[in-house]
Structure 1
Amino acid sequence: MLISDSQKKILSLLADGEFHSGAELAEVLGVSRSAVWKQLNGLESLGVPHAAVSGKGYRLSRPIELLDGAKILDHLDEQHRAKISSLEIHDQIDSTNTYLSSLARQNAPSGSVCLAERQTAGKGRRGRQWISPYGSNILLSILWRFQHGPAAISALSLAIGVAVIRALRRLGIDKAGLKWPNDIYSEGKKLGGILIEVAGENEGPCYAVTGLGLNLFLPEEEAGAIDQPWTDLGRIAGGRPIGRNQLAGELIDQLLKVLTGFEQTGLAAYLDEWREYDCLCGESASVFIGAQQFDGTLEGIDAQGFLLMRDADDRLRAFASGEVSFRRAFP
């Protein structure tokens, strides 16, 4: 279902979380009050519930902050703002990564940025769907072109994880960490995920579409289909409001800082910081590669970004890929 212009106008009016009468909304939209009611009911399917109280009118169940390109750019430093070739905000899209990958094949330049209020086919790791109601979270992708082939950027997702934690710490969020290879976690629960899709010549130019999904607000009813423990920034921050446009701007600023320099520095520039943010070092865990399972204690990552695990026989294994499942029950 696509959001209509009338629904977008209604959302803009109700975004403050206050009551607005049906007559006020009808006048602004130039429609009947019954048409307003129908448009509001249509928003329920987008994950935007509302309340109606006789004598008061309508209000959203919670305030929302819609994405605004100008407000986002205000939170980038001048150097990184100049690196953005385009910034698009979609009300609804299948996937920001899929969209930018399509543009990349049409020779779109580095610095193409795409955000969405809602995705219908958001992609997580191993084909999982990324769940997010309209206007609630961060759904972001950036296209960047590199000169030396996919092998030269094989550890990019680890550096991108560092960039995400840097952005969160700038906003006073210090309870987030990294789970190898590309997840953002807090106290044993998933907060966000990174998905990087690379295409191009083995030894020549290539491009990477870096996608980030980060939970700012995820209601329990929307998260019912998620098959792992999850959290959002609202819970981590203890209800302290976090501006969605500010968050998007800080994230883009830090992501661009990594993307513009990674081909020169590689993982080495981020290795110590990644290890500082590693939330599973020392934990008992299992690594799954296809049908194979390896058990042991995690010992961080090596200089190439491979995950290190010591098994019961004191053998140290290094994994270039795999799915990690940890055992400790976090509070």
Structure 2
Amino acid sequence: MATAALEKTLLHILSDQRFHSGSELAAALQVSRTAVWKAIRGLESLGLPVSAVPGKGYRVAGPLELLNAAAIEAGLTPEARALLTGLELHDRIDSTNSQLLRAAAAGADAGRACLAETQTAGRGRVGRRWLSPLGANIYLSLLWRYDEPSQAAGLSLALGVAVLRALAEVGVTGVGLKWPNDFLWNERKLGGLLVEVVGESHGSCAVVAGLGLNRHLPREWGRNLDQAWTDLTEIAGSALPSRNRLAAALLNQLLPVLAGYPASGLSAYLTEWRAHHHLQGREAVIRQGDAWIRGRILDVTAAGFLLLECADGARREFASGDLRLRLAGS
């Protein structure tokens, strides 16, 4: 059995979170115990925490719920089900956003969704890497199509509102928004959005909206992050939402926003977005290229730009672009 296939089969066996001895696994998989051990090490390298207990065997140490298309579809509203034109589930992929950008170039319809157990080249804003431990979090991208790129202006803010609505749907509240696309809880990052717009020759465009949301981030992976972080395990505790239920809730909220955005625009979501804006009125530092700009965050404009009162008293507007935003002193 090839290594990738062996790891996949082993993952599904271990997903019951019971102990399985090395000899039991070797017999079930028709491989040697050494091959089982190597496959488990491979799963651990992808972020799956596995405990090995002498006399008992191997068991997944943290919460593990693999993606399941039937379970996700069962949680969809009639509206979301009608808008969803395809649901891709991948065990391992470079990036869910990259996958749907390829699908868009091949002519895929609007409404396609892509989820993955892990990403080998997950991406955040400004070309940053997005850590994607196996079976732990939500890695979700959606494809939509608009008549022209201008119809997607401010879309990431509207999608941020949709994510908060989805979290509330599964019982998670108290999450705030950080312009332009991050989710925070107690000053720590819970997730983020990456919206990519690709223009086409006839004036229309394909939009791929990607979401990374920490459901259960292994501690050892968190040490590789350059900012404070949190996950839904910490926020929700014993009420941690089912991963498939969470995926369905996100589709329930994100798909209608994508479908209706050309008609509604950002104005339909801006009041709600402002109510959850975590940085409103706070001192912040913006890095734009080699420049560092300090000031107080005043608001977000009707176009979705950040309004900053700079140290010299001048007010400036910033589009998200390639800038980075941090609280002063963080």
On whether the aligned pair clears a TM of 0.5, the verdict is yes
Distance 1:40 1:202 in 2: 47
**In 2, are the aligned partners of 1:175 and 1:236 still within 8 Å (CA)?**
no
Percent identity for Structure 1 against Structure 2: 50
Equivalences for residues 1-331 of structure 1 within 5 A: 4-147=4-147, 149-201=148-200, 204-321=203-320, 322-327=323-328
| Cα distance in 1, alignment partners of residues 251 and 13 from structure 2 | 27
Residue 202 to residue 328, structure 1, CA distance change in 2 (3 Å): farther
TM-superposed deviation, 1:249: 0.9
Structure 1 unaligned runs (5+)?
none
Shift of 1:3: 6.3
Task: Tell me, yes or no, if the aligned pair for 1:118 and 1:132 is still in contact at 8 Å.
Answer: yes
Report how many aligned residue pairs link the two structures.
327
Report the TM-score, using the length of structure 2 for normalisation. Answer: 0.93
Q: Is the 8 A contact 2:284 2:328 kept in 1?
A: yes
Question: For 1:154 and 1:3, how far apart are their aligned partners in 2?
Answer: 44
Distance 2:53 2:186 in 1: 39
Shift of the alpha carbon at 1:303? 1.1
CA distance in 2, matches of 1:51, 1:121: 27
Deviation string 1:48-106 (CA, Å, 9 cap, x unpaired) is 13222222221112231010111111111012112111111111111111111011111
Structure 2: how far apart are the matches of 1:314 and 1:49?
Answer: 51
Residues in 2 aligned to 1:146 and 1:232: alpha-carbon distance in whole angstroms: 33
Q: Distance in 2 between matches of 1:324 and 1:263?
A: 28
* 1:278 Cα offset (Å): 0.4
- Please tell me whether the aligned partners of residues 283 and 328 of structure 1 are also in contact (alpha carbons under 8 angstroms): no
> How far, CA to CA, are the matches of 1:98 and 1:289 in structure 2?
26
* Partner amino acid, structure 2, of 1:158: L
TM-score of the pair, normalised by structure 1: 0.93
| 3-state secondary structure, aligned to 1:113 | strand
TM superposition shift of 1:218: 1.1
- Could you tell me whether the CA contact under 8 Å between 1:183 and 1:190 is conserved in 2? yes
SS in 2 for 1:247: helix
Once residues 213 and 172 of structure 1 are traced to their aligned partners in structure 2, the CA distance between those partners, rounded to angstroms, is 19
Say if 1:150 and 1:202, in contact at 8 Å, map to a contact too: no
* Matches of 1:203 and 1:6, distance apart in 2: 46
Gaps of 5+ in 2: none
- Larger mean CA deviation between 266-275 and 43-52 belongs to 43-52
Q: CA RMSD in A?
A: 1.9
Name the amino acid aligned to 2:193: I
**Equivalent AA in structure 2 for residue 55 of structure 1:** G
Code of the aligned partner of 2:268: A
